[in-house]
Amino acid sequence: MNKRVLILKSGLSVRELIRLKNNYVDTKNRAYGKNIKIKDIESFSDYIYFIAYLCWNQILMLFLMSVGFAIYGYYEYGVVINLSLIHI
């Protein structure tokens, strides 16, 4: 899929895209001004793709850690936690 189409389908508002663009420009100026080696993200679409990847990666890590603690609790204490909030 084209990166521009992916950005359009992301559901970001114009205000959010402008804020991302400003953060992108600030990050590039700050990193290159101090001669810090960072991964080259040259285009704005690559930057948005990279940030989205980091966000999804962290959500997945949070989910896997929660499952890990639940499995540990089950084996340690033999207790299954019911996560359903609404009983019909």
Q: Is residue 20 one of the residues assigned to a domain? A: yes
pLDDT digits (tens, 9 = 90+) for 13-47: 778 777 877 877 776 666 555 554 455 556 667 76
Q: pLDDT value at position 19? A: 81
Q: Is residue 66 one of the residues assigned to a domain? A: yes
Q: Which of the 8 DSSP states describes residue 87?
A: -
Q: Is residue 39 one of the residues assigned to a domain? A: yes
Q: How many domains does the chain have?
A: 1
| Percent share of the chain, pLDDT over 70 | 49
Q: Is residue 87 one of the residues assigned to a domain? A: no
Q: Is residue 85 one of the residues assigned to a domain? A: no
Q: Which amino acid is at 86?
A: I
Q: Counting beta carbons within 10 angstroms of the beta carbon of residue 31, is it exposed (0 to 12), middle (13 to 18) or buried (19 or more)? A: middle
Q: Is residue 34 one of the residues assigned to a domain? A: yes
CA pair distance 2, 51, nearest whole angstrom: 16
Q: pLDDT value at position 9? A: 65
Distance of CA 86 to the CA centre of its chain: 29
Does residue 85 register a pLDDT over 50? no
For residue 45, what are the domain limits? 3-77
